[in-house]
């Protein structure tokens, strides 16, 4: 079973920040939080990951609460091409650990 | 960046035939590959974990005799759907882990998927 819970769907106005929440209250100390997204009929795409600290890359920012029980993915200026299903995943950082997908959040960016 | 390819991207077959789907890591070596299935408007469901040179580990409820997985090299894993039926019609996606995993943040790379339609 997935170890995370996310809202099933969200809307965001184009150009605005999209804030996607994720709860992972049973996360263990060595597990990372990963975010992937899947645009319709394509394979998932890695976005960002983190352990404790907030992280930022060219795609997004990841804010992890101090107790690590929840996180928020931020797309600072959403575009229509960001419309996708976003998956928050908790996983060990090894080559052998499997990734279990939950239902994710379907983000619709509206013009 | 690391690239995973799948072939074919789409396949239509008759009921009762077998279909082979290939998953290749193009510019890195993958000790472990994963196979997922995705039905319309549903999330990805992990089918099996494939380790190079050993038997695949199947998730509960996945028939290993129906979904044959071979991972003969560090860059190739194949999924064969045997005696396919219409209910096997789905989007099949593979992913691969880089052997360098611990040093590479983008540790799991996904293929573009294969759309299987069984008539």
- pLDDT tens string, chain A, 111 residues long: the values are 568 999 999 999 999 999 999 999 999 888 889 999 999 989 999 899 999 989 999 999 999 999 999 999 999 999 999 999 999 999 876 656 778 888 999 999 999
Check whether B98 has a pLDDT greater than 80: no
Question: Are the C-beta atoms of residues B18 and B118 closer than 8 Å to each other?
Answer: no
Please list every residue in chain B whose beta carbon sits closer than 8 Å to the beta carbon of residue A100.
46
Band (B103; pLDDT cuts 50, 70, 90): very low
pLDDT at B13: 96
Nearest Cβ partner of A95 from B4, B43, B99?
Answer: B99
Check whether B59 has a pLDDT greater than 50: yes
Cα–Cα dist A99/B94, whole Å: 12
Cα–Cα dist A108/A85, whole Å: 9
Band (B106; pLDDT cuts 50, 70, 90): low
Band (B74; pLDDT cuts 50, 70, 90): confident
Tokens of A74: 């931020």
Q: Which residue of A has its CA nearest to B106?
A: A46
Please list every residue in chain A whose beta carbon sits closer than 8 Å to the beta carbon of residue B101.
93-95
Tell me the β-bridge partners of A33: A50, A90
pLDDT at B107: 66
Provide CB contacts within 8 A for B95, sequence distance 6+. Answer: A43, A44, A99, B4, B33, B34, B36, B108, B109, B110, B111
Q: Which residue has the tokens 């979904």?
A: B67
Nearest Cβ partner of A42 from B51, B98, B113?
Answer: B113
Flag if A49 and B110 touch (Cβ within 8 Å): no
Q: Closest Cα to residue A35, out of A65, A9, A62? A: A62
Cα–Cα dist B57/B69, whole Å: 9
Q: Which residue of B has its CA nearest to A57?
A: B105
Which letter does DSSP use for residue B59 in this model?
P
Cα–Cα dist A110/B8, whole Å: 34
Q: If you average pLDDT over every residue of chain B, what do you get?
A: 90
Flag if A95 and B97 touch (Cβ within 8 Å): yes
Q: Does A44 touch chain B (CB under 8 A)?
A: yes
Average pLDDT over residues B7-21: 97
Tokens of A109: 């960016």
Q: Does A86 touch chain B (CB under 8 A)?
A: no
pLDDT above 90 covers a percentage of chain B that reads 71
Tell me the β-bridge partners of A89: A34
Cα–Cα dist A12/B30, whole Å: 37
Band (B36; pLDDT cuts 50, 70, 90): very high
Average pLDDT over residues B44-67: 92
**Disruptive mutation site among A8, A99, A104, A105 for chain B (greatest number of B CBs within 10 Å):** A99
pLDDT at B47: 96
Flag if B97 and A45 touch (Cβ within 8 Å): no
pLDDT at A105: 97
Task: Tell how strand A84-92 and strand A105-110 pair up.
Answer: antiparallel
Q: Which residue of B has its CA nearest to A32?
A: B105
Radius of gyration for the alpha carbons in chain A, expressed in angstroms and rounded: 13
Q: Closest Cα to residue B37, out of B21, B15, B16, B18? A: B21
Average pLDDT over residues B47-72: 91
Flag if B31 and A95 touch (Cβ within 8 Å): yes
């Amino acid at each position: 079973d997935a170890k995370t819970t996310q809202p099933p769907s969200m809307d965001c106005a184009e150009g605005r920040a999209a804030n996607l929440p994720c709860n992972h209250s049973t996360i263990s100390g060595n597990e990372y939080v990963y975010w992937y997204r899947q645009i319709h009929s394509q394979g998932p795409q890695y976005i960002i990951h983190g352990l404790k600290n907030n992280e930022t890359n060219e795609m997004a920012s990841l804010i992890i609460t101090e107790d690590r029980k929840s996180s928020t993915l931020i797309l600072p200026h959403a575009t229509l091409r960001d419309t996708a299903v976003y998956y928050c995943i908790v996983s060990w950082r090894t080559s052998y650990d499997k990734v279990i997908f939950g239902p994710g959040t379907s983000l619709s960016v509206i013009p | 960046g690391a690239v995973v390819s799948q072939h074919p991207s789409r396949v239509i077959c008759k009921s009762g035939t077998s279909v082979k789907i290939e998953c290749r890591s193009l510019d890195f070596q993958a000790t472990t590959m994963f196979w997922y299935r995705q039905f319309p408007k549903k999330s990805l469901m992990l089918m099996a974990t494939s380790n190079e040179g050993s038997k695949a580990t199947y998730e509960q409820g996945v028939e290993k005799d129906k979904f044959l997985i071979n991972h003969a090299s560090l860059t190739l894993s194949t999924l064969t759907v045997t005696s396919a039926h219409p209910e096997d019609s789905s989007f099949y996606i593979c992913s691969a882990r880089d052997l360098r995993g611990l040093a590479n943040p983008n540790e799991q790379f996904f293929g573009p998927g294969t759309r299987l339609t069984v008539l």
